[in-house]
């Protein structure tokens, strides 16, 4: 993909996005701009299907929607509410630990800076960027496996890790697209541009894509 093609690619993705299922964490952010709920739902979402994430988040937030309320629950309580999310027991302990630190060290508020968020156990750059962008509406680029894979498949970047992709996109991607690139490419990756055998024959981005690493497609 040539740098100049990113504008038309984003416009196509915006049109297609309307027919795709919205990622679960984005739904949480759309319902209520709560950095805390975005943070917790993102933790739940790791290695978990979107439908499970959405239901688990809803059950948990019905009981506790703030760090202070969460600290009133036990790790066992949280685990029961987010089950069957992947690694639900580990995530319940992580959610409780983060909530306790937020209450004790941050006055019950989630910090809005990536470097501060990275100080919390289990919070990586993907989660931190998601909280900053969806929770606070600040500029940031959340790069997960979909964004990393697709940007390299397009030939828009040439990187080996999601963190390298984030840094490359911060240089190359116009800032007007920073916040929405994750939503668009997660939905695109889940619904069309699959890791194995992507739907290239019906893809409106065929003329933009270098199809790097694609050996079989539909």
pLDDT for position 189: 95
What is 100-123 written as a DSSP string? HHHHHHSTT----SHHHHTTSTT-
Report how far residue 144's alpha carbon sits from residue 186's, in angstroms, rounded to the nearest whole number. 8
Please give the model's pTM, rounded to 2 decimal places. 0.88
What confidence score (pLDDT) does residue 6 get?
97
Q: Give the pLDDT of residue 33.
A: 80
Choose among 128, 116, 117, 108: nearest CA to 66.
Answer: 108
- Kindly list the catalytic residues: 126, 144
Query: pLDDT value at position 27?
Result: 83
* pLDDT for res 31: 73
**Rg of the chain over all Cα atoms, to the nearest angstrom:** 18
pLDDT at 22: 84
Domains of the chain with CATH codes: 3-20+141-202 (1.10.1670.10), 24-136 (1.10.340.30)
User: DSSP secondary-structure letter at 205?
Assistant: T
Residues of the chain scoring pLDDT < 50: none
Cβ density class 170-201: b for 16+ within 10 Å, e for less: eeebeeebbbebbbbbbbbbeebbeeeebebe
């Amino acid at each position: 993909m040539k740098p100049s093609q990113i504008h038309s690619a984003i416009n196509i993705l915006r049109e297609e996005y309307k027919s795709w299922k919205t990622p679960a964490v984005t739904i949480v952010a759309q319902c209520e701009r709560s950095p805390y709920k975005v943070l917790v739902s993102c933790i739940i979402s790791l290695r978990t299907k979107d439908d499970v994430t959405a239901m688990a988040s809803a059950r948990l937030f019905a009981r506790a929607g703030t760090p202070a309320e969460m600290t009133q629950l036990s790790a066992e309580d949280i685990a029961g509410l987010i089950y069957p999310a992947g690694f639900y027991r580990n995530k319940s302990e992580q959610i409780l630990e983060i909530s306790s630190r937020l209450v004790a060290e941050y006055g019950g508020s989630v910090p809005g800076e990536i470097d501060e968020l990275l100080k919390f156990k289990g919070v990586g750059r993907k989660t931190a960027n998601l909280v900053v962008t969806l929770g606070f509406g600040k500029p940031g680029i959340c790069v997960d496996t979909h964004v990393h894979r697709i940007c390299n498949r397009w030939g828009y970047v040439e990187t080996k890790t999601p963190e390298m992709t984030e840094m490359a996109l911060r240089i190359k991607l116009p800032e007007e697209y920073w916040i929405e690139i994750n939503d668009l490419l997660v939905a695109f990756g889940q619904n069309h541009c699959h890791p194995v055998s992507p739907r290239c024959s019906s893809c409106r981005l065929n003329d933009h894509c270098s199809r790097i690493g694609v050996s079989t497609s539909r």
